[in-house]
Chains A and B, each alone.
Chain A
């Protein structure tokens, strides 16, 4: 067990190190952007004097290094700073919106991951026969359509024609879970259709790869049914690649939902980020970037750890 703990500790500390590196990248990246927030706030009415005053007021004249460390210091105590354009607390604003984004991602994941794996298993079971071809063709078609197009198609059919789900995914804190689920159903389905094909195809490929192994023949010659062979003997050895692609898609569900949030007017992180990028509100962009990076690194770290745990050679050393 100690070997596994050591490996996990290694992954975690690497993840933290990586996050530091990313924080530097984000900070440097936003510094070298042309123009600054003072210019964008003042817009047409900017005079050199106004600009100088506003910059002084916003602390933009401090050296970059000291601004970086005061920003980093704030993050450690949960303070992401103040939005320059609205003067609101970024941590609070992000808190609510991150919750919404995570909720949407979770609903999409709960729908898409089991379906993707099940479809992958079915495709393996009926390899090169019509169910396999049908699954491949439909998932490929759904991944080939741009997500805004899928979103509008779903709105048209389920929202407008059938009237099953609301076309605008409005959520507010007092909602019940059922109402909330109902509200996010269309964006969640859109996301599901987008990520399904990738996960399903990877599951199929990973399991087919394992199906070449000699122990699959052993299982077959024991008289096990095809599905039992796939489920019990192939899947446990294909977990590592499957987990990796699932985590990559989960990360996408969280950090890549901008378009879907805009289509469904969903109050999530993506909208928040886009709004503030256009206003050149650097602290908000930095904070969002850091949160996305943390989620991305965290999920990939989790994939690594699950891969380690799924390997019997590491779990049970000689």
Chain B
């Protein structure tokens, strides 16, 4: 290699062999010839939806294919040699020394049986780069650089003894420890709460700049990658869509698809005002699991007919528990639920059929919420049969009607869930909830498992259906952008209590309480330098206090 690009993908082709039972093996192509180069010390952002091939390309820089994935063509030059041609011992020689990997879930990526420090310095010792005490010294330095608490002793802990955000930082320390030339970050903040994400993001960015390591940063969130990358490559279905400096991609995208990614969440939803009487009123709800764990503490919210109440909070804030109380799966210890002006029976098992029909639910994982052995027609038809006793020809017509409402073709009824895409599955779940003709639908993180553009489509459909069917939504989410898009009123939850509650306009206008302020300012914005701006203002605030 003549030029000084230390990492060079040339016409990379990656494929896999699908072996479905009862069918002949089938070769599929995941990446169709992608080329890219990277200079020392630079950060390349790979962005795209699921199935775009971004993780696959990232792992190719370690000459690694996950599962049955195989690199079928092209070259990957690293420090002047084609790593795809290395034999196993030489592969082991450069993995963990020249290139390191940070995975999406550090909680799964750390071995539960060993202390953090032993895992952090393992690659460094394996490759004989430092003595044990030197490596431990470096690990402690890195813990400090990544702003981990108690950097001198945190390494003695086991993975289950630290939080998710701390683990993600420890994994970054693990990748930095052998002083590699390149680190592959594979969605390192996706599994974290938004207020944790910003800290981890800042820590990673700081560590990259002080160590001068080059990085490939993989994410589906353009606003996140805009904060750390020098250049961005947009991928779709295994092909490069656009590649350029971060500033250009964000501010002047050339391709249609990139523009769609940049402008995602363009939904305009005029806020509706509360009417006189709420449809559902939850008052002073206290609930918990077992005898001593209280998850909800004195929560009161109202839900109006045909409107959306967004319940927002981080994991552990009690938002899903609130939904369980409303459905009657978890009767509250105290407090009362009023439905259409009369008290609602606390326990689901004691509620009359009509009350059950009036409150339906849509789940986060459409995959696990459907029976894989039932056809779509059976799944959607079940509530129609169960609640209205409709059978035969009429049932088929109703199912076709529901499919039309969710914008899916009528012949979908004979297919099985496994044959549908993620977005289609969630639409079927919406149809199933709607088929009961309910007054309220509880939507529990219904878009979090979906790609942004697909999620956008689902939200538009939900709003559209609300207009036509006058159904109310209790919309549980951790994503503030979604909240802004669809809510009429908002309940911000923090540690089982209402931190803020009111109409959307009221909740989202200053002055804010501390927690809402933290939450709102942590949502990544699609502009360069946003991260620095937020960290700077937080530093000043804490200095001011």
Binding site for B on A (CB under 8 A): 213-215, 217-225, 228, 233, 236-237, 310, 312-313, 316, 318
- Decide yes or no: A223 and B127 within 8 Å by CB, A214-B109, A218-B109, A313-B112 being known contacts: yes
Q: Are A222 and B95 in contact (CB under 8 A)?
A: yes
Binding site for A on B (CB under 8 A): 62, 64, 66, 91-97, 100-101, 103, 105, 108-114, 119, 122-123, 126-127, 157-158, 160-161
**Contact partners of B97 in chain A: CB under 8 A:** 223
Determine the distance from Cα of A143 to Cα of B238 in the docked complex, in whole angstroms.
50
**Contact partners of A237 in chain B: CB under 8 A:** 111-113
Q: Are B111 and A221 in contact (CB under 8 A)?
A: no
Q: Are A316 and B64 in contact (CB under 8 A)?
A: no
Min CB–CB distance B290 → chain A (angstroms)? 17
**Contact partners of A221 in chain B: CB under 8 A:** 62, 64, 95-96, 100-101
**Contact partners of A222 in chain B: CB under 8 A:** 95-96, 100, 122-123, 126
Q: Are A214 and B108 in contact (CB under 8 A)?
A: yes
Q: Are A318 and B160 in contact (CB under 8 A)?
A: yes
**A219 nearest in chain B by CB position:** B111
- Decide yes or no: A218 and B161 within 8 Å by CB, A223-B96, A237-B111 being known contacts: no
Determine the distance from Cα of A32 to Cα of B403 in the docked complex, in whole angstroms.
68
Q: Are A214 and B64 in contact (CB under 8 A)?
A: no
Q: What is the count of residue pairs linking A and B with beta-carbon distances less than 8 angstroms? A: 75
Q: Are B92 and A223 in contact (CB under 8 A)?
A: yes
Further pairs besides A217-B66, A223-B91: 12, Cβ < 8 Å:
A215-B111, A218-B111, A219-B111, A221-B64, A222-B122, A223-B94, A223-B96, A236-B114, A237-B112, A237-B113, A312-B112, A313-B112
Q: Are B113 and A236 in contact (CB under 8 A)?
A: yes
Min CB–CB distance B448 → chain A (angstroms)? 20
Q: Are A215 and B109 in contact (CB under 8 A)?
A: yes
Min CB–CB distance A68 → chain B (angstroms)? 41
**A212 nearest in chain B by CB position:** B67
Min CB–CB distance A234 → chain B (angstroms)? 9
Q: Are A318 and B161 in contact (CB under 8 A)?
A: yes
Determine the distance from Cα of A318 to Cα of B159 in the docked complex, in whole angstroms.
10
- Decide yes or no: A224 and B108 within 8 Å by CB, A313-B160, A316-B158 being known contacts: no
**B118 nearest in chain A by CB position:** A232
**B178 nearest in chain A by CB position:** A222
**Contact partners of B112 in chain A: CB under 8 A:** 215, 237, 312-313
**B160 nearest in chain A by CB position:** A313
4 nearest A-B pairs in the assembled complex, by CB-CB distance: A222-B96, A223-B95, A214-B108, A223-B96
Q: Are B109 and A312 in contact (CB under 8 A)?
A: no
**Contact partners of B105 in chain A: CB under 8 A:** 214
**Contact partners of A313 in chain B: CB under 8 A:** 112, 158, 160
Other-chain contact of A312, B93, B95, B113, B119 (Cβ < 8 Å): B113
Determine the distance from Cα of A228 to Cα of B105 in the docked complex, in whole angstroms.
23
**Contact partners of A213 in chain B: CB under 8 A:** 108
Determine the distance from Cα of A312 to Cα of B93 in the docked complex, in whole angstroms.
31
Other-chain contact of A218, B66, B91, B94, B101 (Cβ < 8 Å): B101
**A218 nearest in chain B by CB position:** B109
**Contact partners of B158 in chain A: CB under 8 A:** 312-313, 316
Determine the distance from Cα of A228 to Cα of B125 in the docked complex, in whole angstroms.
13
**A316 nearest in chain B by CB position:** B158
**Contact partners of B93 in chain A: CB under 8 A:** 223
**Contact partners of B94 in chain A: CB under 8 A:** 223
Determine the distance from Cα of A178 to Cα of B157 in the docked complex, in whole angstroms.
47
Q: Are A316 and B161 in contact (CB under 8 A)?
A: yes
**Contact partners of A312 in chain B: CB under 8 A:** 112-113, 158, 160
**A225 nearest in chain B by CB position:** B92
**Contact partners of A217 in chain B: CB under 8 A:** 66, 103, 109
Determine the distance from Cα of A225 to Cα of B453 in the docked complex, in whole angstroms.
42
**Contact partners of B108 in chain A: CB under 8 A:** 213-215
**Residue among A213, A222, A233, A318 with max Cβ neighbours from chain B (10 Å):** A222
Determine the distance from Cα of A224 to Cα of B122 in the docked complex, in whole angstroms.
9
**Contact partners of A220 in chain B: CB under 8 A:** 64, 95
Determine the distance from Cα of A151 to Cα of B127 in the docked complex, in whole angstroms.
50
15 contacts between A and B (CB under 8 A): A213-B108, A215-B108, A215-B111, A217-B109, A218-B109, A218-B110, A219-B122, A221-B95, A222-B122, A223-B91, A223-B95, A223-B97, A237-B111, A310-B113, A318-B160
- Decide yes or no: A214 and B103 within 8 Å by CB, A223-B97, A318-B160 being known contacts: yes
Min CB–CB distance B503 → chain A (angstroms)? 40
Min CB–CB distance B397 → chain A (angstroms)? 46
Determine the distance from Cα of A213 to Cα of B111 in the docked complex, in whole angstroms.
9
Determine the distance from Cα of A143 to Cα of B109 in the docked complex, in whole angstroms.
38
**Contact partners of A215 in chain B: CB under 8 A:** 108-112
**Residue among A214, A217, A223 with max Cβ neighbours from chain B (10 Å):** A223
Min CB–CB distance B510 → chain A (angstroms)? 38
Determine the distance from Cα of A23 to Cα of B127 in the docked complex, in whole angstroms.
59
Q: Are A233 and B111 in contact (CB under 8 A)?
A: yes
Min CB–CB distance B142 → chain A (angstroms)? 16
**Contact partners of A214 in chain B: CB under 8 A:** 103, 105, 108-109
Min CB–CB distance A213 → chain B (angstroms)? 7
Min CB–CB distance B255 → chain A (angstroms)? 32
Determine the distance from Cα of A140 to Cα of B93 in the docked complex, in whole angstroms.
38
**Residue among A214, A218, A219, A225 with max Cβ neighbours from chain B (10 Å):** A218
Determine the distance from Cα of A217 to Cα of B109 in the docked complex, in whole angstroms.
8
Determine the distance from Cα of A15 to Cα of B473 in the docked complex, in whole angstroms.
53
Determine the distance from Cα of A220 to Cα of B111 in the docked complex, in whole angstroms.
12
**Contact partners of B119 in chain A: CB under 8 A:** 218
**Contact partners of A228 in chain B: CB under 8 A:** 126
Min CB–CB distance A222 → chain B (angstroms)? 4
**Residue among A214, A228, A236 with max Cβ neighbours from chain B (10 Å):** A214
Min CB–CB distance A60 → chain B (angstroms)? 54
**A235 nearest in chain B by CB position:** B113
- Decide yes or no: A224 and B111 within 8 Å by CB, A214-B105, A316-B158, A318-B160 being known contacts: no
Determine the distance from Cα of A222 to Cα of B103 in the docked complex, in whole angstroms.
12
**A313 nearest in chain B by CB position:** B160
**Contact partners of A219 in chain B: CB under 8 A:** 111, 122
- Decide yes or no: A224 and B126 within 8 Å by CB, A214-B109, A215-B110, A219-B111 being known contacts: yes
Min CB–CB distance B100 → chain A (angstroms)? 7
**Contact partners of A218 in chain B: CB under 8 A:** 101, 103, 109-111, 119
**Contact partners of B101 in chain A: CB under 8 A:** 218, 221
Q: Are B126 and A223 in contact (CB under 8 A)?
A: yes
Determine the distance from Cα of A214 to Cα of B94 in the docked complex, in whole angstroms.
20
**Contact partners of A223 in chain B: CB under 8 A:** 91-97, 123, 126-127
**Contact partners of B122 in chain A: CB under 8 A:** 219, 222, 224
Min CB–CB distance A87 → chain B (angstroms)? 56
**B66 nearest in chain A by CB position:** A217
Determine the distance from Cα of A316 to Cα of B112 in the docked complex, in whole angstroms.
11
**Contact partners of B109 in chain A: CB under 8 A:** 214-215, 217-218
Min CB–CB distance A142 → chain B (angstroms)? 31
